[in-house]
Amino acid sequence: MSLPGPRCADGAGGHPDAPLAGLTAHGTGHGTAGRVALRHLVDLGATPGAAHTGTYTPVQGDLVTLYRSAGPAEQPLLDCRIDWACPGGTPLADETTVQAATGLMAVHGRNRGTPRRIPVEYASTCAGVIAVQGVLAALVARERGARISTVGTSVAHAALLTISQYLAAGTAPETEHLPAVEGRPGPPFRSRDGVWFEIEALDAAPWRDFWTALGAPAKDISSGWPAFMLRYPKALSPLPPSLHQAVAAVEFARILAVAEAHRMSVCRIRTMAERRTDRDALRYGRVPPPWRFRPYGDASRPRPSATVPGPERPLDGLTVIEAGRRVQAPLAAHMLGLLGARVVRVEPPGGDPLRGMPPMVEDCSARFLALNRTKEAVTADLKTPAGRNTVRELARDADVFLHNWAPGKAAEFQLDAPELAALNPRLVYGYASGWGDALGERPPLGTDFMAQAHSGLADLMADGDRPRPSLMTLLDVLGGLVAAEGLLAALVARERTGRGRRMDSSLLSASTVLQYQALERPQRRHAPGCGTAGLPEVEGPYRTADGWLAVSAGSTTAVGRLCRELGLDPAAPQDVLRRRIADRLADRPAAEWVARFATARVSAAVVATDLDGLDTAPATAPALTREACTFVNSPWRFGA
């Protein structure tokens, strides 16, 4: 496992004040999770080292090791193991089988009515970030007197975390209704001159005025609003066809003008080629780190910890104040809570409105509980001096303060980093935004689907000539994981130097973590997971006699084994080959094919389409806890 190109400083790698300065990172294995983990450790200041040898088998996953010096002969400081499968669960072999077994394909495919593979290495990328979170939490604990030398996680567990809200909602006592999508296409939209674009509004008035100005029928405008908002909680958006017809009748320039007049945000879906020209996308040919750190105050002797954490709760004794909405910031704080921190949420008077979003578990939303069930809550009206003083008093004795307010709100509230650092110089201050400073002072609304459009991710996931953004909140989730990773890195630096610091991340910067190869080494788009551009795209899922089956064939050899088992010619044209594979697989049950393919050394898995069964399924049960609904357990294993 290697890292090409120079490291990016940006407050991290190569700087003596970097969180991991003085450490060396080595990697073994070939998976995306390990590559992301190793890259991020280097971006945080570790020196990249050559892969070391050992008894770990790379096909199981990846192993990343930190040393205090440059030589692998030295005693390791920390070993981090990233497996494909959950410990004790059914074996899984790759990104495709993980997406199938964990329900990720089912959630991503809701808007098209069938399970679909996310056509990027999403679960593996999230697992790499989660692995680094575990390493950084262990380093924080070691600085506070704990003895932790091993960290473990899995790609399957990471995949389950990415669907935690959908999983909680799908297993709640109150039945979740998913409307039919057939014949009612969701976003994105296309103008008369062929421009694909996304739109965003956070309340109904801009939505109504925008569509009225474009001549859409009033009844469809009204029914379209709740359908549009279903993207966030349910990963589908069955819109009236008349809305698509309304924008298809006018030029994109007219659509922009109408949106500007009625406060609707519009973002054209850009290509990866366009994204590579952005100043924030590449620096000297390399994607910069997804976080930015700015120390404040003078270096001081680190304060001895009053609590020596145990290995299972490395952040025990630390306090996190979170003033977040929706997914990004709440998920980041939730990850710190899973690591043992005390998390206090700042909510508006009356509580967060999302507490009441169906389906409910007693008096609280199942989705809300998925990210917030272990947190304490304090109400504060930030529009008043008393409410802002409440936050200041909380921050005075906290270790972390995190928010994802709209641009300029922190300064307006006088709760920006300088104000809170004056009260608490050791505070780690985090801002998880939509765009960072990439789009200037008046950016469009910085939400998941707008970021997918602007970043080129929707183009990267295109199906033929049509961009295919996911209606699952891919970037809200990854953005939350990246924010938590940055906060943990800042805590490591704080424990080592005594200085607090500000950490900035964004949905846009998180998108680059999925696009390292696409941005730095552009090539012709080819089958997801395949290493050869000319390889036929035969990845599933496919219908079988009793459900869906995902097969994975990421090499010429694997395609050959699959075709031999099915009695097919791998040289057939791709569309013909896919049809013939589908015809063969339709004859037998999915589980029977999995057993047969295992003998032929073909990677395959039954596609989980019922989230309500994951807590008992052998592949996923070890990572889940069933209470009133199903929750995802902590994804790390720590050992002394």
129-188: per-residue pLDDT in tens?
A: 999 999 999 999 999 999 999 999 999 999 999 999 999 999 999 999 899 998 898 999
As a whole number of angstroms, the distance between CA 177 and CA 11 comes to 47
Structure tokens at 417: 């980093």
Give the CATH number of domain 24-174+279-520; options: 3.40.50.720, 3.40.50.10540, 3.40.50.10860, 3.40.50.300. Answer: 3.40.50.10540
The tally of CA atoms less than 13 A away on the side-chain side of residue 332 is: 37
Residue 463: per-residue pLDDT: 83
> For 538-565, b where at least 16 C-beta lie within 10 A, e where not — what string?
bbbbbbbeebbbbbbbbeeebbebbbeb
As a whole number of angstroms, the distance between CA 220 and CA 214 comes to 12
Helix, strand counts (H, E) of the chain: 25, 23
If you average pLDDT over every residue of the chain, what do you get?
Answer: 92
Whether the Cβ atoms of residue 548 and residue 607 lie closer than 8 Å to each other: yes
pLDDT at 52 exceeding the cut of 70: no
Whether the Cβ atoms of residue 510 and residue 577 lie closer than 8 Å to each other: no
Residue 522: per-residue pLDDT: 80
Name the residue with higher pLDDT: 158 or 312: 158
Q: How many CB atoms lie within 10 A of CB 70?
A: 14
Interhelix angle 204-213/218-229, rounded to 10 degrees, is 140
Residue 535: per-residue pLDDT: 75
As a whole number of angstroms, the distance between CA 452 and CA 446 comes to 10
pLDDT at 10 exceeding the cut of 70: no
Residue 53: per-residue pLDDT: 47
HEC states along 544-581? CCCCEEEEECCCHHHHHHHHHHHCCCCCCCHHHHHHHH
- pLDDT for 99-124, tens place per residue? 999 999 999 999 999 999 999 999 99
pLDDT at 5 exceeding the cut of 90: no
Whether the Cβ atoms of residue 431 and residue 355 lie closer than 8 Å to each other: no
Residue 15: per-residue pLDDT: 65
As a whole number of angstroms, the distance between CA 116 and CA 514 comes to 18
As a whole number of angstroms, the distance between CA 486 and CA 7 comes to 17
As a whole number of angstroms, the distance between CA 377 and CA 343 comes to 9
pLDDT at 408 exceeding the cut of 90: yes
Q: How confident is the model at residue 7 (pLDDT cuts 50, 70, 90)?
A: very low
Structure tokens at 406: 């709209």
Q: How confident is the model at residue 307 (pLDDT cuts 50, 70, 90)?
A: confident
As a whole number of angstroms, the distance between CA 71 and CA 50 comes to 9
pLDDT at 40 exceeding the cut of 90: yes
Q: What is the DSSP string of 500-515?
A: -EEEEEEHHHHHHHT-
Distances (CA, A) of 537 to 57, 399, 528, 531: 28, 49, 8, 11
pLDDT at 317 exceeding the cut of 90: yes
pLDDT at 12 exceeding the cut of 80: no
Angle at 348 between CA 206 and CA 426, to 5 degrees: 115
As a whole number of angstroms, the distance between CA 485 and CA 135 comes to 10
As a whole number of angstroms, the distance between CA 366 and CA 354 comes to 10
Q: What is the DSSP string of 359-396?
A: SEETTEEHHHHHHHTT-EEEE--TTSHHHHHHHHHHHH
Distances (CA, A) of 139 to 83, 133, 311: 21, 10, 11
Name the residue with higher pLDDT: 225 or 74: 225
**Closest residue by Cα to residue 99 from 371, 589, 460, 474:** 474
Residue 540: per-residue pLDDT: 80
As a whole number of angstroms, the distance between CA 581 and CA 573 comes to 12
Residue 635: per-residue pLDDT: 98
Residue 50: per-residue pLDDT: 67
Name the residue with higher pLDDT: 286 or 540: 286
Tell me what the mean pLDDT of segment 318-325 comes to.
Answer: 96
pLDDT at 2 exceeding the cut of 70: no
As a whole number of angstroms, the distance between CA 27 and CA 37 comes to 9
Q: How confident is the model at residue 70 (pLDDT cuts 50, 70, 90)?
A: low
**Would you kindly state where each structural domain of the chain is located, as residue ranges?**
24-174+279-520, 189-268, 542-606
Tell me what the mean pLDDT of segment 391-406 comes to.
Answer: 97
pLDDT at 68 exceeding the cut of 50: yes
The tally of CA atoms less than 13 A away on the side-chain side of residue 637 is: 14
Angle at 84 between CA 78 and CA 86, to 5 degrees: 85
Q: How confident is the model at residue 304 (pLDDT cuts 50, 70, 90)?
A: low
- pLDDT for 347-363, tens place per residue? 999 999 999 999 999 99
Beta-bridge mates of residue 604: 551
Residue 370: per-residue pLDDT: 98
Angle at 30 between CA 510 and CA 480, to 5 degrees: 20
| Lowest mean per-residue pLDDT among 41-55, 244-258, 463-477, 563-577 | 41-55
Residue 622: per-residue pLDDT: 97
Tell me what the mean pLDDT of segment 83-97 comes to.
Answer: 95
Beta-bridge mates of residue 431: 403, 504
Cα of 244 vs its chain's centroid, Å: 29
| Lowest mean per-residue pLDDT among 4-13, 26-35, 493-502 | 4-13
Residues sharing a CB contact under 8 Å with residue 320, sequence separation 6 or more, in sequence order: 333, 336, 337, 341, 342, 343, 344, 398, 399, 400, 401, 402
As a whole number of angstroms, the distance between CA 120 and CA 83 comes to 19
- pLDDT for 539-592, tens place per residue? 889 999 999 999 998 889 999 999 999 999 999 998 999 999 999 999 999 999
Name the residue with higher pLDDT: 101 or 305: 101
pLDDT at 1 exceeding the cut of 60: no
What is this structure's pTM?
A: 0.95
Residue 4: per-residue pLDDT: 40
- pLDDT for 500-551, tens place per residue? 999 999 999 999 999 999 999 886 544 444 444 567 888 889 999 999 999 9
pLDDT at 9 exceeding the cut of 50: no
Whether the Cβ atoms of residue 522 and residue 323 lie closer than 8 Å to each other: no
As a whole number of angstroms, the distance between CA 210 and CA 426 comes to 47
Cα of 292 vs its chain's centroid, Å: 18
Cα of 102 vs its chain's centroid, Å: 15
